[in-house]
Amino acid sequence: MGFFYISILAVLQGITEFLPISSSGHLLLLSELFNQPEQTLQVDVAVHFGTLVAIILFYKKDFLSLTSGLHKNMTLRFNHNDAQFFRLILLATLPVIFCGLILKLTGLIHEIRSIKVIGIGMIIFGIILYISDKYGKKNRLKSDWTYKDAFIMGLWQTAALIPGTSRSGNTITGGMFLGFSRESAVNLSLIMSIPTILASSVLLSLDFIAIELKNSDLKILLLGAFFSFLAARLTLSLLVRFVKTYSFTPFVIYRLILGLSILYISYT
């Protein structure tokens, strides 16, 4: 992989990781366009690390609340707000970690990854996003989040294990179906991504250490992490501002076009 391709891949990953448009679909199209295999494990580790740093810095206060909540739960101070916030995030994260481990250990994670599945996922879950945006009540705030809400949004996040569906798109959809405003649904979705990306990065890193450490290219790792971080940081800021004024319809239209394009490629 050359400098130009790695740069584009890292930027694309950083942009699509948090938008409700599926990063897997875009990376697949990129590999088809440049006639390149999908990114190696070392690049995957690097770009995930870049997006993880970006989301932690963007939600610094919430991340500190999570770490504080972990400590307070361990010291049995369960009634503190930070302790409850940590338990909510934990509850929302457990389903995807559990199902993700099953798919990984059984090898099914590779079986469901195909260009056709990505195209179909882009279209179907794009339509579901539109329905939730149009018909959701959108009158609840982030502070209204309950254990029931966290678990349901966690199940929506688990559905993102299907390639092409979009983790952020699914959790935003689930949030709006639960009555949360666009802004609150986006904020909850993005905060939920912190432990999910962290867990994913840990699993990738373990594979990387076991398989590709000796063959790693430090320049590629640093380049991928840096560009994905910059792209993700800018995208986060723009997304949060966007949903204060506009609906998700532009993203839905984009998903439909991209999904149909992927299906066209898969059959030709």
Minimal CA–CA distance to 166: which of 138, 140, 127? 127
Task: Kindly tell me the sign of the dihedral angle through the C-alpha atoms of 92, 94, 96, 99.
Answer: negative
What pLDDT sits at residue 257?
Answer: 93
Number of domain units in the chain: 1
Please give the model's pTM, rounded to 2 decimal places.
Answer: 0.90
DSSP H helices, 59-181, are: 60-74, 81-106, 108-111, 115-135, 147-158, 167-177
Q: From the first residue on, what is the mean pLDDT of each consecutive set of 10 residues in the chain (268 residues)?
A: 79 93 80 67 77 95 96 94 96 93 82 85 96 95 96 96 92 97 97 89 65 61 89 96 96 95 84
What is the residue range of 128's domain?
3-267
103 Cβ contact list (under 8 Å, min separation 6): 109, 112, 161
Tokens, residue 144: 């209204």
pLDDT value, residue 229? 96
Q: Which tens digit of pLDDT belongs to each residue from 152-202?
A: 999 999 998 888 899 999 999 999 999 999 999 999 999 999 998 888 777
CB 229 within 8 A of CB 8: no
Q: What is the pLDDT of residue 47?
A: 84
Which residues share a beta bridge with 140?
180
> Scanning the structure block, which residue is given the tokens 């009540």?
137
C-alpha 23/C-alpha 81 separation (Å) is 33
CA atoms within 13 A on the CB side of 127: 7
